A and B are shown apart, each in its own frame.
Chain A
Amino acid sequence: MRNMKHIFKKEFKTYFVSPIAYIVISVFLVVIGWLFFSTFFLNRQASLTQFFSLLPVTFAFIIPAVTMRLFSEEINVGSYEILLTMPVFFKDIIIGKFLAAIAFVGIMLAPTIIYAFSISFLGDLDWGPVIGGYLGALLLGATFSAIGLLASSLTRNQVIAFIIGMVICFSLTVLVDFMLFFLPNSFVGIFQYLSASFHFKNIAKGMLDSRDILYFLSVSFIALYGTNLIMQEKK
Protein backbone atom coordinates (compact mmCIF):
# COMPACT_ATOMS: atom_id res chain seq x y z
CA MET A 1 0.00 0.00 0.00
CA ARG A 2 2.80 2.39 1.00
CA ASN A 3 4.77 1.44 -2.09
CA MET A 4 1.73 1.87 -4.29
CA LYS A 5 1.60 5.49 -3.13
CA HIS A 6 5.28 6.06 -3.92
CA ILE A 7 4.95 4.55 -7.37
CA PHE A 8 1.83 6.60 -8.03
CA LYS A 9 3.59 9.79 -6.98
CA LYS A 10 6.64 9.07 -9.11
CA GLU A 11 4.65 8.19 -12.23
CA PHE A 12 2.35 11.18 -11.85
CA LYS A 13 5.28 13.56 -11.44
CA THR A 14 7.07 12.05 -14.42
CA TYR A 15 4.14 12.99 -16.66
CA PHE A 16 4.61 16.65 -15.87
CA VAL A 17 8.40 16.64 -16.00
CA SER A 18 8.42 15.62 -19.65
CA PRO A 19 6.61 17.60 -22.35
CA ILE A 20 4.24 14.70 -23.03
CA ALA A 21 1.63 15.86 -20.49
CA TYR A 22 1.38 19.36 -21.90
CA ILE A 23 1.21 18.13 -25.48
CA VAL A 24 -1.45 15.52 -24.78
CA ILE A 25 -3.59 17.88 -22.71
CA SER A 26 -3.42 20.66 -25.30
CA VAL A 27 -4.24 18.31 -28.17
CA PHE A 28 -7.17 16.90 -26.21
CA LEU A 29 -8.58 20.32 -25.33
CA VAL A 30 -8.16 21.74 -28.82
CA VAL A 31 -9.68 18.73 -30.58
CA ILE A 32 -12.61 18.25 -28.25
CA GLY A 33 -13.26 22.00 -27.92
CA TRP A 34 -13.27 22.49 -31.63
CA LEU A 35 -15.48 19.45 -32.37
CA PHE A 36 -17.93 20.41 -29.65
CA PHE A 37 -18.28 24.15 -30.23
CA SER A 38 -18.33 23.94 -34.02
CA THR A 39 -21.88 22.54 -33.83
CA PHE A 40 -22.90 23.71 -30.35
CA PHE A 41 -24.62 26.96 -31.39
CA LEU A 42 -26.47 25.27 -34.26
CA ASN A 43 -28.22 22.95 -31.82
CA ARG A 44 -29.58 25.83 -29.76
CA GLN A 45 -29.55 23.66 -26.65
CA ALA A 46 -27.84 24.40 -23.36
CA SER A 47 -26.53 20.89 -22.81
CA LEU A 48 -23.23 19.01 -22.81
CA THR A 49 -24.66 15.86 -24.40
CA GLN A 50 -22.79 16.50 -27.62
CA PHE A 51 -19.54 16.99 -25.68
CA PHE A 52 -19.92 13.71 -23.83
CA SER A 53 -20.81 11.79 -26.97
CA LEU A 54 -17.43 12.83 -28.43
CA LEU A 55 -15.48 11.55 -25.43
CA PRO A 56 -15.30 7.78 -26.13
CA VAL A 57 -13.69 8.20 -29.55
CA THR A 58 -11.36 10.95 -28.38
CA PHE A 59 -10.33 8.94 -25.33
CA ALA A 60 -9.70 5.89 -27.51
CA PHE A 61 -6.94 7.87 -29.24
CA ILE A 62 -5.65 10.02 -26.41
CA ILE A 63 -5.49 7.61 -23.46
CA PRO A 64 -3.27 4.96 -25.10
CA ALA A 65 -0.84 7.84 -25.75
CA VAL A 66 -0.93 8.66 -22.06
CA THR A 67 -0.35 5.09 -20.91
CA MET A 68 2.02 3.82 -23.61
CA ARG A 69 5.19 4.68 -21.72
CA LEU A 70 4.19 3.25 -18.34
CA PHE A 71 5.79 -0.17 -18.88
CA SER A 72 7.30 -0.02 -22.40
CA GLU A 73 9.78 2.68 -21.49
CA GLU A 74 10.90 0.87 -18.36
CA ILE A 75 11.36 -2.39 -20.23
CA ASN A 76 13.24 -0.63 -23.01
CA VAL A 77 15.58 1.37 -20.77
CA GLY A 78 16.05 -1.54 -18.36
CA SER A 79 14.84 0.29 -15.25
CA TYR A 80 12.18 -2.42 -15.14
CA GLU A 81 14.91 -4.73 -13.82
CA ILE A 82 15.68 -2.42 -10.89
CA LEU A 83 11.99 -1.89 -10.20
CA LEU A 84 11.31 -5.62 -10.06
CA THR A 85 14.22 -6.29 -7.73
CA MET A 86 12.88 -3.78 -5.21
CA PRO A 87 10.81 -5.17 -2.35
CA VAL A 88 7.47 -4.38 -4.01
CA PHE A 89 4.56 -6.56 -5.03
CA PHE A 90 3.45 -6.61 -8.66
CA LYS A 91 0.05 -5.34 -7.64
CA ASP A 92 1.59 -2.23 -6.07
CA ILE A 93 3.42 -1.46 -9.31
CA ILE A 94 0.38 -2.07 -11.50
CA ILE A 95 -2.13 -0.18 -9.38
CA GLY A 96 0.30 2.68 -8.71
CA LYS A 97 0.81 3.19 -12.43
CA PHE A 98 -2.91 2.73 -13.13
CA LEU A 99 -3.91 5.37 -10.57
CA ALA A 100 -1.32 7.79 -11.99
CA ALA A 101 -2.93 7.41 -15.42
CA ILE A 102 -6.42 8.00 -13.97
CA ALA A 103 -5.21 11.09 -12.13
CA PHE A 104 -3.75 12.35 -15.38
CA VAL A 105 -7.06 11.80 -17.17
CA GLY A 106 -8.79 13.71 -14.36
CA ILE A 107 -6.43 16.66 -14.80
CA MET A 108 -6.94 16.53 -18.55
CA LEU A 109 -10.73 16.67 -18.11
CA ALA A 110 -10.76 19.33 -15.42
CA PRO A 111 -10.51 22.40 -17.70
CA THR A 112 -13.62 21.27 -19.60
CA ILE A 113 -15.71 21.97 -16.49
CA ILE A 114 -15.47 25.59 -17.65
CA TYR A 115 -17.70 24.57 -20.58
CA ALA A 116 -20.42 23.50 -18.16
CA PHE A 117 -20.27 26.76 -16.23
CA SER A 118 -20.23 28.97 -19.29
CA ILE A 119 -23.11 27.04 -20.85
CA SER A 120 -25.14 27.37 -17.66
CA PHE A 121 -25.12 31.13 -18.28
CA LEU A 122 -26.54 30.64 -21.78
CA GLY A 123 -29.58 28.64 -20.76
CA ASP A 124 -31.09 26.31 -18.22
CA LEU A 125 -28.45 23.59 -17.87
CA ASP A 126 -29.58 20.30 -16.33
CA TRP A 127 -26.73 19.40 -13.95
CA GLY A 128 -27.74 15.74 -13.50
CA PRO A 129 -26.41 14.57 -16.87
CA VAL A 130 -23.33 16.77 -16.44
CA ILE A 131 -22.35 15.13 -13.15
CA GLY A 132 -23.22 11.71 -14.59
CA GLY A 133 -21.18 12.56 -17.67
CA TYR A 134 -18.07 13.41 -15.69
CA LEU A 135 -18.43 10.35 -13.51
CA GLY A 136 -18.85 8.22 -16.63
CA ALA A 137 -15.87 9.96 -18.22
CA LEU A 138 -13.69 9.00 -15.27
CA LEU A 139 -14.90 5.39 -15.40
CA LEU A 140 -14.33 5.29 -19.15
CA GLY A 141 -10.90 6.90 -18.69
CA ALA A 142 -10.00 4.37 -16.03
CA THR A 143 -11.06 1.46 -18.22
CA PHE A 144 -9.08 2.72 -21.20
CA SER A 145 -6.10 3.39 -18.92
CA ALA A 146 -6.19 -0.22 -17.74
CA ILE A 147 -6.29 -1.39 -21.36
CA GLY A 148 -3.44 0.97 -22.26
CA LEU A 149 -1.41 -0.34 -19.33
CA LEU A 150 -1.94 -3.90 -20.51
CA ALA A 151 -0.82 -2.92 -24.02
CA SER A 152 2.25 -1.23 -22.56
CA SER A 153 3.26 -4.32 -20.61
CA LEU A 154 3.26 -6.36 -23.82
CA THR A 155 6.10 -4.62 -25.62
CA ARG A 156 9.22 -2.54 -25.19
CA ASN A 157 8.20 -0.37 -28.12
CA GLN A 158 5.99 2.59 -27.19
CA VAL A 159 4.58 3.02 -30.70
CA ILE A 160 3.41 -0.60 -30.75
CA ALA A 161 1.97 -0.19 -27.24
CA PHE A 162 0.06 2.87 -28.45
CA ILE A 163 -1.33 1.09 -31.51
CA ILE A 164 -2.40 -2.03 -29.59
CA GLY A 165 -4.06 0.10 -26.90
CA MET A 166 -5.77 2.28 -29.44
CA VAL A 167 -7.07 -0.64 -31.48
CA ILE A 168 -8.63 -2.29 -28.40
CA CYS A 169 -10.15 0.95 -27.08
CA PHE A 170 -11.37 1.93 -30.53
CA SER A 171 -12.95 -1.50 -31.04
CA LEU A 172 -14.79 -1.22 -27.75
CA THR A 173 -16.05 2.20 -28.79
CA VAL A 174 -16.92 2.04 -32.45
CA LEU A 175 -16.65 -1.43 -33.83
CA VAL A 176 -19.39 -2.82 -31.66
CA ASP A 177 -21.81 -0.08 -32.71
CA PHE A 178 -20.78 -0.68 -36.28
CA MET A 179 -21.38 -4.43 -36.01
CA LEU A 180 -24.97 -3.83 -34.97
CA PHE A 181 -25.84 -3.03 -38.58
CA PHE A 182 -24.77 -6.44 -39.79
CA LEU A 183 -25.92 -8.75 -37.06
CA PRO A 184 -29.24 -10.44 -36.49
CA ASN A 185 -31.30 -8.93 -33.70
CA SER A 186 -30.53 -11.71 -31.25
CA PHE A 187 -26.85 -10.70 -31.16
CA VAL A 188 -27.53 -7.04 -30.63
CA GLY A 189 -27.87 -7.36 -26.88
CA ILE A 190 -24.57 -9.15 -26.46
CA PHE A 191 -22.64 -6.74 -28.62
CA GLN A 192 -24.25 -3.77 -27.02
CA TYR A 193 -23.20 -5.07 -23.65
CA LEU A 194 -19.58 -5.24 -24.85
CA SER A 195 -19.60 -1.65 -26.05
CA ALA A 196 -17.93 0.92 -23.81
CA SER A 197 -19.71 3.79 -25.51
CA PHE A 198 -23.13 2.20 -24.89
CA HIS A 199 -22.51 2.01 -21.12
CA PHE A 200 -20.94 5.43 -21.10
CA LYS A 201 -23.98 6.93 -22.81
CA ASN A 202 -26.25 5.43 -20.18
CA ILE A 203 -24.29 6.99 -17.36
CA ALA A 204 -23.98 10.30 -19.23
CA LYS A 205 -27.77 10.50 -19.38
CA GLY A 206 -27.60 10.91 -15.65
CA MET A 207 -28.81 7.39 -14.85
CA LEU A 208 -26.53 5.51 -12.53
CA ASP A 209 -27.17 1.85 -13.29
CA SER A 210 -25.11 -0.74 -11.45
CA ARG A 211 -24.81 -2.77 -14.67
CA ASP A 212 -22.94 0.05 -16.41
CA ILE A 213 -20.64 0.64 -13.47
CA LEU A 214 -20.05 -3.09 -13.19
CA TYR A 215 -19.09 -3.18 -16.88
CA PHE A 216 -16.34 -0.58 -16.46
CA LEU A 217 -15.07 -2.14 -13.26
CA SER A 218 -14.92 -5.61 -14.73
CA VAL A 219 -13.17 -4.57 -17.96
CA SER A 220 -10.61 -2.62 -15.88
CA PHE A 221 -10.11 -5.59 -13.61
CA ILE A 222 -9.60 -7.99 -16.52
CA ALA A 223 -7.03 -5.67 -18.11
CA LEU A 224 -5.12 -5.16 -14.86
CA TYR A 225 -5.21 -8.87 -14.11
CA GLY A 226 -3.90 -9.52 -17.62
CA THR A 227 -1.04 -7.11 -16.94
CA ASN A 228 -0.20 -9.05 -13.81
CA LEU A 229 -0.18 -12.33 -15.77
CA ILE A 230 2.14 -10.83 -18.38
CA MET A 231 4.53 -9.63 -15.69
CA GLN A 232 4.53 -13.11 -14.15
CA GLU A 233 5.13 -14.63 -17.56
CA LYS A 234 8.17 -12.43 -18.14
CA LYS A 235 9.89 -13.82 -15.05
Chain B
Amino acid sequence: MIKIENLNKYYGELCAVNNVSFEIHKGEILGLLGPNGAGKTTIYRVLTGYLSPTSGTIKVMDYNIYDHQIEIKKCIGYLPEEAPLYRDMLVFDYLNYIADIRGVEKNRKLSHLHELADLCNLNEVMHKTIDELSKGYRQRVGIAQALMGNPEILVLDEPTSGLDPNQIAETREIIKKIGKEKTIVFSTHILSEAEVTCDRVVIIDEGKIVADDTIDNLRKLLHEKSFENIFRKLTRGN
Protein backbone atom coordinates (compact mmCIF):
# COMPACT_ATOMS: atom_id res chain seq x y z
CA MET B 1 0.00 0.00 0.00
CA ILE B 2 2.72 2.44 1.05
CA LYS B 3 6.37 1.90 0.27
CA ILE B 4 8.97 4.25 1.71
CA GLU B 5 12.45 3.84 0.29
CA ASN B 6 15.68 5.44 1.52
CA LEU B 7 13.90 8.51 2.74
CA ASN B 8 16.08 11.40 3.88
CA LYS B 9 14.98 14.77 5.11
CA TYR B 10 17.31 17.55 6.14
CA TYR B 11 16.33 20.85 7.72
CA GLY B 12 19.34 22.86 6.66
CA GLU B 13 22.23 20.95 8.21
CA LEU B 14 20.05 19.00 10.62
CA CYS B 15 19.19 15.48 9.55
CA ALA B 16 15.66 14.71 10.75
CA VAL B 17 15.09 11.49 8.83
CA ASN B 18 18.05 9.32 7.98
CA ASN B 19 17.70 6.73 5.24
CA VAL B 20 14.40 5.29 6.38
CA SER B 21 12.73 2.46 4.46
CA PHE B 22 9.62 0.54 5.41
CA GLU B 23 6.35 -0.70 4.03
CA ILE B 24 2.80 -0.44 5.20
CA HIS B 25 0.43 -3.15 4.02
CA LYS B 26 -3.20 -2.81 3.15
CA GLY B 27 -5.55 -3.03 6.13
CA GLU B 28 -2.75 -2.86 8.65
CA ILE B 29 -2.62 -0.68 11.77
CA LEU B 30 0.98 0.38 12.05
CA GLY B 31 2.39 2.12 15.10
CA LEU B 32 5.21 4.52 14.32
CA LEU B 33 6.88 4.91 17.69
CA GLY B 34 9.87 6.75 19.00
CA PRO B 35 10.93 9.41 21.49
CA ASN B 36 10.13 13.07 20.87
CA GLY B 37 12.27 14.52 18.11
CA ALA B 38 12.92 11.12 16.57
CA GLY B 39 11.50 12.19 13.22
CA LYS B 40 7.99 10.71 13.30
CA THR B 41 6.22 13.93 12.47
CA THR B 42 8.69 14.65 9.66
CA ILE B 43 7.96 11.25 8.11
CA TYR B 44 4.23 12.00 8.28
CA ARG B 45 4.72 15.39 6.74
CA VAL B 46 6.66 14.00 3.82
CA LEU B 47 4.20 11.15 3.38
CA THR B 48 1.22 13.52 3.29
CA GLY B 49 2.91 15.93 0.88
CA TYR B 50 3.28 18.82 3.33
CA LEU B 51 7.08 18.66 3.02
CA SER B 52 9.13 17.35 0.15
CA PRO B 53 11.86 14.79 0.83
CA THR B 54 15.54 15.71 0.47
CA SER B 55 16.05 12.33 -1.20
CA GLY B 56 14.39 8.95 -1.44
CA THR B 57 10.98 7.96 -2.71
CA ILE B 58 7.56 7.21 -1.37
CA LYS B 59 5.04 5.17 -3.31
CA VAL B 60 1.42 5.12 -2.29
CA MET B 61 -0.50 2.43 -4.20
CA ASP B 62 0.95 2.95 -7.65
CA TYR B 63 1.53 6.65 -7.25
CA ASN B 64 4.92 8.24 -6.90
CA ILE B 65 5.21 11.19 -4.51
CA TYR B 66 7.09 13.29 -7.08
CA ASP B 67 4.64 12.94 -9.94
CA HIS B 68 1.25 12.29 -8.39
CA GLN B 69 0.98 14.45 -5.30
CA ILE B 70 -2.68 15.28 -5.72
CA GLU B 71 -3.67 11.63 -6.24
CA ILE B 72 -1.72 10.63 -3.13
CA LYS B 73 -3.32 13.40 -1.11
CA LYS B 74 -6.71 12.13 -2.19
CA CYS B 75 -6.11 8.70 -0.65
CA ILE B 76 -4.60 9.93 2.63
CA GLY B 77 -6.50 11.50 5.52
CA TYR B 78 -4.17 13.26 7.94
CA LEU B 79 -4.55 14.48 11.48
CA PRO B 80 -1.51 16.54 12.51
CA GLU B 81 -0.44 16.69 16.14
CA GLU B 82 -2.62 18.96 18.32
CA ALA B 83 -5.38 19.00 15.66
CA PRO B 84 -4.84 22.49 14.22
CA LEU B 85 -8.32 23.52 13.05
CA TYR B 86 -9.93 26.85 12.11
CA ARG B 87 -10.96 27.99 15.54
CA ASP B 88 -13.55 30.57 14.56
CA MET B 89 -15.62 28.17 12.44
CA LEU B 90 -18.60 26.10 13.52
CA VAL B 91 -17.89 22.37 13.62
CA PHE B 92 -20.54 21.76 10.96
CA ASP B 93 -19.20 24.52 8.69
CA TYR B 94 -15.67 23.25 9.10
CA LEU B 95 -16.51 19.65 8.21
CA ASN B 96 -18.67 20.88 5.36
CA TYR B 97 -15.74 22.91 4.01
CA ILE B 98 -13.40 19.93 4.26
CA ALA B 99 -16.00 17.80 2.48
CA ASP B 100 -16.14 20.35 -0.36
CA ILE B 101 -12.37 20.48 -0.69
CA ARG B 102 -12.06 16.72 -0.60
CA GLY B 103 -14.61 16.56 -3.39
CA VAL B 104 -17.43 14.73 -1.62
CA GLU B 105 -20.41 14.79 -4.00
CA LYS B 106 -23.20 17.15 -3.10
CA ASN B 107 -25.99 14.61 -2.83
CA ARG B 108 -23.90 12.38 -0.56
CA LYS B 109 -22.37 15.12 1.53
CA LEU B 110 -24.98 15.51 4.26
CA SER B 111 -25.33 11.78 4.90
CA HIS B 112 -21.54 11.43 4.97
CA LEU B 113 -21.28 14.28 7.49
CA HIS B 114 -23.88 12.62 9.72
CA GLU B 115 -22.13 9.29 9.42
CA LEU B 116 -18.85 10.82 10.61
CA ALA B 117 -20.57 12.81 13.35
CA ASP B 118 -22.06 9.54 14.64
CA LEU B 119 -18.77 7.69 14.41
CA CYS B 120 -16.82 10.39 16.23
CA ASN B 121 -19.65 11.30 18.66
CA LEU B 122 -19.87 14.89 17.47
CA ASN B 123 -23.63 15.28 17.25
CA GLU B 124 -23.97 17.56 20.29
CA VAL B 125 -21.27 19.98 19.19
CA MET B 126 -22.02 20.38 15.48
CA HIS B 127 -23.26 23.93 16.02
CA LYS B 128 -20.58 25.14 18.38
CA THR B 129 -17.48 27.02 17.28
CA ILE B 130 -14.31 24.94 17.40
CA ASP B 131 -12.87 27.46 19.84
CA GLU B 132 -15.45 26.47 22.47
CA LEU B 133 -14.67 22.75 22.34
CA SER B 134 -12.72 20.75 24.87
CA LYS B 135 -9.51 19.14 23.73
CA GLY B 136 -11.15 15.72 23.38
CA TYR B 137 -13.86 17.05 21.11
CA ARG B 138 -11.37 19.03 19.07
CA GLN B 139 -9.32 15.90 18.55
CA ARG B 140 -12.42 14.04 17.38
CA VAL B 141 -13.30 16.82 14.95
CA GLY B 142 -9.75 16.37 13.67
CA ILE B 143 -10.31 12.64 13.21
CA ALA B 144 -13.62 13.30 11.43
CA GLN B 145 -11.75 15.75 9.21
CA ALA B 146 -9.17 13.08 8.37
CA LEU B 147 -11.91 10.57 7.55
CA MET B 148 -13.75 12.94 5.24
CA GLY B 149 -14.28 11.53 1.78
CA ASN B 150 -13.36 8.00 2.90
CA PRO B 151 -9.61 8.01 2.19
CA GLU B 152 -8.08 4.53 2.22
CA ILE B 153 -5.15 5.51 4.40
CA LEU B 154 -5.24 7.39 7.68
CA VAL B 155 -2.23 9.09 9.21
CA LEU B 156 -2.76 10.15 12.82
CA ASP B 157 0.01 12.00 14.64
CA GLU B 158 -0.41 11.38 18.39
CA PRO B 159 -4.18 11.33 18.31
CA THR B 160 -4.43 10.68 22.06
CA SER B 161 -1.82 13.10 23.41
CA GLY B 162 -3.10 15.42 26.10
CA LEU B 163 -6.42 13.62 26.52
CA ASP B 164 -7.84 12.28 29.78
CA PRO B 165 -8.15 8.49 30.28
CA ASN B 166 -11.82 8.44 29.22
CA GLN B 167 -11.13 10.40 26.07
CA ILE B 168 -8.15 8.17 25.30
CA ALA B 169 -10.39 5.11 25.56
CA GLU B 170 -12.98 6.72 23.28
CA THR B 171 -10.40 7.72 20.71
CA ARG B 172 -8.92 4.22 20.78
CA GLU B 173 -12.37 2.78 20.16
CA ILE B 174 -12.78 5.04 17.14
CA ILE B 175 -9.38 4.04 15.75
CA LYS B 176 -10.19 0.37 16.19
CA LYS B 177 -13.53 0.80 14.47
CA ILE B 178 -11.98 2.58 11.51
CA GLY B 179 -9.06 0.16 11.43
CA LYS B 180 -11.33 -2.67 10.35
CA GLU B 181 -11.60 -1.17 6.88
CA LYS B 182 -8.65 1.16 6.51
CA THR B 183 -4.91 1.24 6.60
CA ILE B 184 -3.77 3.31 9.58
CA VAL B 185 -0.43 4.72 10.60
CA PHE B 186 -0.37 6.39 13.97
CA SER B 187 2.00 7.35 16.73
CA THR B 188 1.61 7.45 20.48
CA HIS B 189 3.69 7.69 23.61
CA ILE B 190 1.36 5.40 25.49
CA LEU B 191 3.01 2.06 24.83
CA SER B 192 0.18 -0.03 26.28
CA GLU B 193 -2.06 1.59 23.68
CA ALA B 194 0.29 0.57 20.89
CA GLU B 195 0.30 -2.98 22.28
CA VAL B 196 -3.48 -3.21 22.09
CA THR B 197 -4.07 -1.50 18.76
CA CYS B 198 -1.09 -2.07 16.48
CA ASP B 199 -0.58 -5.02 14.17
CA ARG B 200 3.06 -4.05 13.77
CA VAL B 201 5.38 -1.34 15.08
CA VAL B 202 8.19 0.63 13.51
CA ILE B 203 10.40 2.23 16.14
CA ILE B 204 12.64 5.10 15.15
CA ASP B 205 15.28 6.96 17.05
CA GLU B 206 17.28 9.98 15.90
CA GLY B 207 15.87 9.66 12.40
CA LYS B 208 16.78 5.98 11.95
CA ILE B 209 14.73 2.83 12.14
CA VAL B 210 15.76 0.68 15.12
CA ALA B 211 12.99 -1.91 14.89
CA ASP B 212 10.33 -2.98 12.40
CA ASP B 213 8.34 -6.00 13.59
CA THR B 214 5.33 -7.21 15.52
CA ILE B 215 5.51 -6.62 19.26
CA ASP B 216 5.45 -10.38 19.96
CA ASN B 217 8.42 -10.94 17.70
CA LEU B 218 10.34 -8.13 19.38
CA ARG B 219 9.66 -9.77 22.76
CA LYS B 220 11.11 -13.06 21.55
CA LEU B 221 14.02 -11.41 19.82
CA LEU B 222 15.11 -9.32 22.78
CA HIS B 223 14.11 -11.82 25.48
CA GLU B 224 12.14 -9.16 27.27
CA LYS B 225 8.53 -9.34 28.37
CA SER B 226 7.67 -5.72 28.96
CA PHE B 227 7.24 -3.63 25.83
CA GLU B 228 8.26 -0.53 27.74
CA ASN B 229 11.66 -2.07 28.48
CA ILE B 230 12.03 -3.08 24.84
CA PHE B 231 11.26 0.47 23.76
CA ARG B 232 13.77 1.92 26.20
CA LYS B 233 16.44 -0.58 25.24
CA LEU B 234 16.05 0.24 21.57
CA THR B 235 15.89 4.00 21.84
CA ARG B 236 18.23 4.76 24.70
CA GLY B 237 20.96 2.20 24.17
CA ASN B 238 22.91 4.11 21.55
Contact = CB atoms under 8 A, between A and B. Distances in A.
A216 to B, nearest CB: 30
B86 A79 contact: yes
A14 B94 CA distance: 11
B88 A87 contact: no
Interface residues of B, number: 28
Interface string B93-113: 100011011110000000000
A84 B73 CA distance: 9
A82 B97 contact: no
Contact of A6 (B51, B74, B101): B101
24 contacts: A3-B101, A6-B101, A13-B93, A14-B86, A14-B88, A17-B88, A77-B84, A77-B85, A77-B86, A79-B86, A80-B84, A81-B80, A81-B84, A82-B80, A84-B50, A85-B50, A85-B73, A85-B76, A86-B98, A86-B101, A87-B70, A87-B74, A88-B101, A235-B51
The 7 A-B pairs with the shortest beta carbon distances in the complex, nearest first, are: A78-B84, A85-B48, A87-B73, A6-B100, A87-B74, A235-B52, A85-B78
Contacts of A79: 84-86
B49 A84 contact: yes
Contacts, number: 60
A221 interface: no
Nearest to A73: B86
B88 to A, nearest CB: 6
B207 to A, nearest CB: 19
A87 B48 CA distance: 10
Interface in B167-223: none
A10 interface: yes
B82 interface: yes
A2 interface: yes
Contacts of A78: 80, 82, 84
A10 B97 contact: yes
B32 to A, nearest CB: 16
B84 A86 contact: no
A77 B131 CA distance: 12
Contacts of A10: 97
A85 B100 CA distance: 14
